[in-house]
A and B are shown apart, each in its own frame.
Chain A
């Protein structure tokens, strides 16, 4: 039951809730595709506080709330307006929760959303805190896998790129560890999955680490690609060689199963070549598109009847 609940971590959503959200997202998707909106959350107000820019996440939350018939209030630049005045996050949240029915927050520090949920007397949704959690991205990732491959159980999921700092990866691995899946992790040494993520996973036996994609690509049902940030490397030559060896092009995709899919939380830079976009496996734009129905389902379960 998600009614009036804050969603800070993917662990706040159990598997019954997830299945229910997937079903509800299906029907929200139908509504969107018919060109329609709903008045399910008529006169309810969402406050969005983004202490860090994220166009995609913000737009999809705001679009979801509008499609549910609610409205959105926002601070155009919360960072300069309140942080500069020395206001604590706790006080900003108390203020925002008195003006709205639900708060969506993105913040550069880990634990910010948990803190917000303690000071708000309204539900809080974490839209990303530092390199911590980003639960709605995880829900929509799981939804995409289910929708585009027919099932989550039984899949071989290969994650490639920055597994160390990538928060979407951490949440997704934790969520997937509750399904019957095999996970391959492919990354350069310095961007390997950190130990604290492993400590959250009960059974690690279905997770294996590899140095390169070639040994796992043919087996893969879901290739999940993430961006490798230049700033992580002190040696720019090393960056160039890493980015070269992990990039997804037509040749690599030709080795993949016909029914496999490629996902990416976007924005991408060089990790997936534009030539891949037209291939049947490319599902990353679809994945972004699913962000709205999935967030509609979640907001409705929290605020609706």
Chain B
């Protein structure tokens, strides 16, 4: 517990907890955090956890996540918990939920897929399996694993 406290409390923003140890950087990646963002992001890596052994924790100040971002996090960290902080208080806390379909969240890895053209459709995937993660493009029917999705 002591180690998580090393990251100071945030006034407003989002805390992503219970991310599998080592996956925190990947979460930051899909949230599009880069050097010229206008908000502060703290990442604690390899934090001791009663439940998980070790975990990563991410705190993002003054930023809240949309549906697509939550869907992406659920792919990387199916058991992550999200706390929304307002005025130093947890105003909402929930677990991410892997949806049965992912719409408009990720691009199909298949370069020859019709969704990678200028057609008026969003990408759409069905979840074939959660462990290990396998998703299938509803259009070209190709399957993608975790490595394909995040590379």
Residue in contact with B141 in the complex, picked from A88, A107, A118, A133, CB distance below 8 Å: A133
Structural contact, B134 and A109, CB atoms closer than 8 A:
no
Q: How far is the CB of B122 from chain A (nearest CB, A)?
A: 11
Q: How far is the CB of A114 from chain B (nearest CB, A)?
A: 5
Per the CB 8 Å criterion, the residue count for chain A at the interface is 21
Q: For the complex, would chain B's binding face be called helix, strand, loop or mixed by DSSP majority?
A: loop
Residue in contact with A110 in the complex, picked from B120, B142, B143, CB distance below 8 Å: B142
Residues of B within 8 A of A111 (CB): 108, 113-115, 137-141
Structural contact, A9 and B117, CB atoms closer than 8 A:
no
Q: Give the complex CA separation of A118 and B139 in angstroms.
A: 10
Contact of A88 with B139 at beta-carbon distance under 8 Å, contacts A109-B112, A110-B112, A131-B112 already known: no
Residues 33-76 of B, flagged 1 when their CB comes within 8 A of A and 0 if not, give 00000000000000000000000000000000000000000000
Q: Give the complex CA separation of A108 and B121 in angstroms.
A: 18
Q: Give the complex CA separation of A107 and B119 in angstroms.
A: 14
Q: How far is the CB of A50 from chain B (nearest CB, A)?
A: 16
Contact of A112 with B141 at beta-carbon distance under 8 Å, contacts A88-B119, A90-B120, A118-B121 already known: no
Q: Give the complex CA separation of A112 and B113 in angstroms.
A: 8
Contact of A9 with B114 at beta-carbon distance under 8 Å, contacts A89-B119, A90-B121 already known: no
Structural contact, B142 and A109, CB atoms closer than 8 A:
no
Residues of A within 8 A of B114 (CB): 89, 107, 109-112, 114-115, 129
Contact of A132 with B119 at beta-carbon distance under 8 Å, contacts A109-B114, A112-B114 already known: no
Binding site for B on A (CB under 8 A): 9, 88-90, 107-112, 114-115, 118, 129-133, 196, 199-200
What 6 A-B pairs have minimum CB-CB distances, sorted nearest first? A111-B139, A110-B140, A111-B140, A111-B114, A109-B114, A112-B114
